[in-house]
Chains A and B, each alone.
Chain A
């Protein structure tokens, strides 16, 4: 049995870490200060260099 991991921050980095760990079968506690996750990236309209939608 694996132990749990704590991720502090729910922006793009925190979300990616959490998903990777969760997919390995590890229980993740993701702590975000604001009411929703997404961080600065959620404020972006598109991302470079492919102009893909950020959300």
Chain B
């Protein structure tokens, strides 16, 4: 990423979208909208002081909703470019409220609430579409109860839990536990606030709240001010009591050590996508291996119709996972997930080897979600004019796998079909070469003329 950011030949247009494409191979005219970040990229140093002081907390899409960010934010810590962006949907100032704290904090004077979208016109010889894929939304499968049972997560959510830079610092904490911890934090704030209120009354009346409350109950006071004090004291007691119970509960929390991975969530399923997404078997194995590296007692069960470990070194990786990383592979499709005690998901499945329907309780379930065609690719097909295949990936042919149906427009990565990182890289180099042929065409023709 860093190489892309500092390469002299790359004009990086982040936070931008292609709006119009005209012309033909060798001479495309492209209109790009560079969206307003409300931060001057030439001034912003990426120090992050603005995000620290911003009062607006927003769920973080990069952390898949498991963490939060501010209304002025970097997409993630090491993001390129590092220029902060103000989210116009949440920023108080941009929504007509009084704020502007970030502008006051910024020493580089980079915040600019008046910034407007910029329209750029580009002349290009060829176009590469690398718009990626969308993660399948597992809530479309009601029997898996995603979002109903908190400890059922997607593979990409689990990835964020495993990441040292993620919301849990790399600990596989269960979302149900995280919710309790967030509640504790909220209650602690409330408790500090109510303690402050009580301190004000104590100072005013010269006695401590507990003694006062005893007297109040025996009917010593009945004026408005003392009644309010008593109310506040009762509130404070309720808050501290529930805080204590929750803290006691949280003492038992630890990382999840019994995991289930469910394969083909949305893929190889005629209700959604009949194709195999290709990378998910390996992805689940990798996640189970890493979880076991973090906590060696972790045991994982991978439920799938078959494990498709096709690729260099992949089968060996699968076997190593079984032998050394506590993975059990179960051949069977999961029929349903229900909620057991302590928010533990219970997996109901058929073990096809034993021909028995079984159920097992886990601490957490990870859904290997399908590689769904991207909405952005569908939008681009309208703008650029290339055709899509039956599933809405970019249409190509087996003998020219990176050529779209429009000459001069090429495709690579999951915009073309589901594929893993090494395949995406290989296809990207191939598309680059095809695009370069057109970019260099004039030179080649000139040379031919000379010869």
Query: Which A residues contact B (CB, under 8 angstroms)?
Result: 1-51, 54-55
Contact = CB atoms under 8 A, between A and B. Distances in A.
A40 B130 CA distance: 12
Given A3-B125, A13-B427, A35-B85, A28 B10 contact: yes
A32 B83 CA distance: 14
Interface string B1-41: 10111011111111111100000001010101000010000
Interface stretch (B91-99, B278-286, B331-339): B278-286
Nearest to B16: A31
A22 B10 contact: yes
Contact of A6 (B1, B73, B128, B433): B128
Contact of A17 (B9, B313, B432): B432
Contact of B413 (A2, A4, A9, A26): A9
Contacts of B156: 40, 43
A40 B18 CA distance: 20
Contacts of A16: 412, 424-425, 428-429, 432
B301 to A, nearest CB: 19
Given A2-B440, A28-B9, A29-B11, A40 B432 contact: no
A42 B421 contact: no
A48 B423 CA distance: 12
A45 B167 CA distance: 12
Given A5-B126, A11-B413, A38 B80 contact: yes
B28 A26 contact: no
Interface secondary structure of B, over-half rule? mixed
B81 to A, nearest CB: 7
Interface stretch (B136-144, B157-165, B350-358): B157-165
A42 B64 CA distance: 13
B436 to A, nearest CB: 5
B25 to A, nearest CB: 11
Contact of A20 (B82, B122, B420, B433): B433
B110 to A, nearest CB: 14
B328 interface: no
Given A12-B425, A37-B79, 6 more contacts: A22-B9, A27-B9, A32-B15, A35-B37, A38-B75, A51-B286
Contacts, number: 244
Contact of A48 (B1, B79, B130, B286): B286
A31 B424 contact: no
Contacts of A4: 122-125, 439
Interface of B: 1, 3-5, 7-18, 26, 28, 30, 32, 37, 62, 64, 73-76, 78-83, 85, 122-133, 135, 156, 159-160, 162-164, 166, 170, 282-283, 285-286, 289-290, 311-314, 316-317, 376, 380, 412-415, 420-421, 424-425, 427-429, 431-433, 435-436, 438-440, 442-443
A48 to B, nearest CB: 4
Nearest to A9: B130
B439 A48 contact: no
Contacts of A19: 3-4, 7, 10
A3 to B, nearest CB: 4
B380 A3 contact: no
A47 B283 CA distance: 8
Nearest to B428: A16
A35 to B, nearest CB: 4
A6 B129 CA distance: 9
Contact of B128 (A8, A12, A42): A8
Q: Which of A18, A35, A43 has the most CB of B within 10 A?
A: A35
A1 to B, nearest CB: 7
Contact of A3 (B13, B26, B283, B415): B26
Given A8-B128, A9-B129, A9-B415, A28 B11 contact: yes
Contact of B376 (A26, A29, A33, A37): A33
A2 to B, nearest CB: 5
Contacts of B442: 1-3
